[in-house]
Amino acid sequence: MIRPGNPVPDLTDPQEQSELSSHGQPRPEAEQAPRQPSAAERARTLIEGNSSPALVIPGLAPAPTAPLVPLRHSVGPAGDVFLLFPRDSPAVRAVRAAAGDEAAAVLEITDVAPVSVPHRIRGRALVAGWLTAVPGGSFEAGAELLRLEVGEISLDDLWGAAQVDPDEFADAAADPLAAHETEILQHLAAAHADEVAMLCTLVSGAGRCTSGAVPVALDRFGLRVRFSSDDGGFDARFDFPAPVAGWDGAQRAMRDLFAAARED
């Protein structure tokens, strides 16, 4: 099973146990699988985060010559996605042309790792729904606020592919480390490369880690590292002892990980 941004099967995925039992971390049984964010939480984190969004409006004529990228985007309390576009954008013109009706649209989200690593795309999401203007939505000079009422969400990321229920998406919260993930990963890669590489001692078959290690993803449950090796490389997931709530907790949890690697 190949994940976006993951060059080989996820070494912590219980489904890969029979195929890859001699590589990576020990395979947990299904009931002992690593803690992970729900699909709705992952989608919310991806859509609210530093990802790259582009809006697609089927049948839009004339066809745009460049992706319809909003100036800003956010998720409202009810799970609607709000998109700020220049007033002369094809997206705004399409909504006006609908004359009060809803215009079908799809928001394409691409999540790219904030560190230099092979296969940098960590995930993609498609949010399909109906686009309308927000009454009184001219909050910024020369721009219009549009609302995408969510009908369907599909997600494909480092954890796997999933369909997300819009109600679950509305009730979900973004990961508490999302606002700090870029800074933490870049700091780890730049200032703690040796300690990150040392985490390989916690992985069975550690001799395979011969060419480097890059921290590729972080959430409240743990850290994912991409190791390079002579046979191509692999991802390994390192769970925190308990979920963390913010920057301070993440720092303590990673210090514990590094200490465990030194003692191994």
Q: How far apart are CA 86 and CA 64, in angstroms?
A: 14
> Where residue 166 sits, what CATH number does that domain have?
2.30.110.10
pTM above 0.75, yes or no: yes
Give the number of domains in the chain.
2
DSSP of 14-62 = GGGHHHHTTSBSPPPPGGGPPP---HHHHHHHHHHTT-EEEEE-TT-SS
Better pLDDT: 136 or 139 = 136
Q: How far apart are CA 128 and CA 131, in angstroms?
A: 9
- 250 and 207, same structural domain? yes
> Where residue 224 sits, what CATH number does that domain have?
3.20.180.10
Q: Which domain holds residue 137?
A: 39-171
Q: How far apart are CA 24 and CA 208, in angstroms?
A: 9
- 150 and 214, same structural domain? no
- 181 and 159, same structural domain? no
If phi > 0 it is left, if psi is from -120 to 50 it is alpha, else beta; for residue 260 that is alpha
Burial of 130 (0-12, 13-18, 19+ CB in 10 A): middle
Read off the DSSP letter of residue 189.
H
Is 61 inside a domain boundary?
A: yes
CA distances from 30 to 37, 163, 237 (A): 16, 21, 16
pLDDT tens digit sequence for 239-252: 998 999 999 999 99
Label residue 139 by pLDDT band (50, 70, 90). confident
- 198 and 98, same structural domain? no
Query: Mean pLDDT across the stretch 80-95?
Result: 95
- 58 and 166, same structural domain? yes
Q: How far apart are CA 145 and CA 137, in angstroms?
A: 5
- 181 and 254, same structural domain? yes
Contact status, residue 205 vs residue 24, Cβ threshold 8 Å: yes
CA distances from 190 to 120, 137, 180, 194 (A): 17, 42, 16, 10
Residue 99 has pLDDT above 80, yes or no: no
Residue 263 has pLDDT above 70, yes or no: yes
pLDDT tens digit sequence for 30-87: 344 558 999 999 999 999 987 899 999 998 888 888 999 999 999 999 999 999 999 9
pLDDT tens digit sequence for 199-239: 998 987 655 666 789 999 999 999 999 998 777 788 999 99
Which one of 140, 171, 202 terminates a domain?
A: 171
pLDDT for 49 equals 87
Residue 137 has pLDDT above 70, yes or no: yes
Is 25 inside a domain boundary?
A: no
pLDDT for 31 equals 41
Residue (of 191, 239, 212) closest to 11 by Cα position: 239
Considering the chain, what is the average pLDDT of its residues? Answer: 85
- 200 and 119, same structural domain? no
